């Protein structure tokens, strides 16, 4: 087997939640091009059907749409029944559904906080548990969770405590499942994207402004990512090319998280405090 063979996913079956548009659609396309049969799971059935039809027409694989509210246990159970009746197995799960709101914490209604937690982390609990039972029987599988660099650092200048908290939880959830399910041949990893230019955000980036300028200032590559730049990492984690990779956070952020967020004066003060503390020991 060559290294290129390890990236092939011929006849495997992948569920991609939130896969009808944006980053989910882009990563699903990468899996489809590698040979995967797809289940596009999305709350918007019309868009999911259109996306599934596109993949069916442009690849040699099957793609079906499944309308599902990933925060509903009954919806998730119905989805599993549909997938197993159609394909008889689940090899890859891509937990991608998510939301974000820029709201000051003191102004965020508690029900909105709960909504962020439900969509961004609790949905992964429901779907992973349901799919995991199938993968445990198979003694093989790859689960990939979309977290964010926001689970590793606090973004600036936008207020998004709920989003950051939920994405931090995704990372720990990933590591915990990787530990528990390794004995079943199930690998669990997470992709942590940085700022990405999608169909929904491209106009936002084009308009620019102080917030965009700040984001790009702290991104060494000086630009947002594009959805297709997540396809390679997604394929790597889904395939046997990453057979010894589990519990990992693959950060794809143009270098954003290499910085400590402080101006030169703050950094000098931190350095002096560190030196003073070291000398006192």
State the catalytic residues.
148, 163, 167
Question: How far apart, in whole angstroms, are the C-alpha atoms of residue 210 and residue 136?
Answer: 49
Question: How far apart, in whole angstroms, are the C-alpha atoms of residue 271 and residue 281?
Answer: 16
Give CA separation, 278 vs 28, 89, 174, 273, in Å: 50, 57, 36, 9
What tokens does 270 get? 């931190």
Compute the radius of gyration of the chain from its Cα atoms.
Answer: 20
Kindly state the DSSP code that residue 21 receives in the 8-state scheme: S
Question: How far apart, in whole angstroms, are the C-alpha atoms of residue 105 and residue 9?
Answer: 43
Question: How far apart, in whole angstroms, are the C-alpha atoms of residue 80 and residue 39?
Answer: 10
Query: Where do runs of H (alpha helix) occur along the chain?
Result: 3-6, 22-33, 45-58, 73-87, 110-117, 123-138, 161-181, 202-207, 210-217, 231-238, 264-280
Question: How far apart, in whole angstroms, are the C-alpha atoms of residue 53 and residue 47?
Answer: 10
Kindly state the DSSP code that residue 224 receives in the 8-state scheme: -
Residue 250 CB coordination number (10 Å): 18
Nearest CA among 154, 157, 142, 224 for reference residue 191: 142
- H/E stretch holding 65 reads strand 63-67
| Coil/strand/helix, residue 116 | helix
Question: How far apart, in whole angstroms, are the C-alpha atoms of residue 251 and residue 131?
Answer: 25
């Amino acid at each position: 087997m060559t290294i290129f063979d390890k990236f092939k996913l011929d006849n495997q079956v992948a569920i991609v939640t939130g896969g009808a548009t944006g980053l989910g659609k882009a990563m699903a396309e990468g899996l489809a091009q590698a040979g995967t049969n797809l289940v596009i799971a999305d709350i918007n059935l019309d868009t999911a059907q259109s996306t599934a039809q596109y993949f069916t027409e442009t690849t040699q694989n099957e793609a079906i749409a499944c309308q599902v509210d990933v925060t509903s246990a009954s919806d998730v159970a119905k989805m599993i029944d549909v997938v197993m009746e159609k394909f008889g197995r689940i090899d890859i799960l891509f937990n991608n559904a998510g939301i974000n709101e820029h709201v000051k914490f003191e102004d965020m209604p508690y029900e909105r906080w709960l909504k962020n937690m439900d969509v961004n982390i609790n949905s992964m609990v429901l779907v992973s548990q349901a799919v995991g039972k199938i993968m445990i029987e198979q003694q093989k599988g790859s689960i990939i969770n979309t977290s964010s660099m926001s689970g590793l650092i606090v973004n600036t200048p936008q207020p998004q405590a709920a989003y950051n908290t939920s994405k931090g939880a995704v990372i720990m959830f990933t590591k915990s499942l990787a530990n528990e399910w390794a004995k079943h041949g199930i690998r669990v990893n997470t992709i942590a994207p940085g700022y990405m230019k999608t169909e929904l955000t491209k106009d936002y980036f084009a308009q620019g402004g102080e917030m965009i300028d700040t984001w790009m200032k702290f991104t060494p590559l000086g630009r947002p990512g594009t959805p297709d730049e997540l396809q390679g990492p997604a394929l790597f984690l889904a395939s046997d090319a990453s057979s010894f990779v589990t519990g990992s956070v693959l950060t794809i952020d143009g270098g954003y998280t290499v910085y400590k967020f402080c101006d030169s004066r703050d950094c000098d003060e931190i350095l002096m405090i560190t030196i003073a503390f070291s000398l006192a020991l």
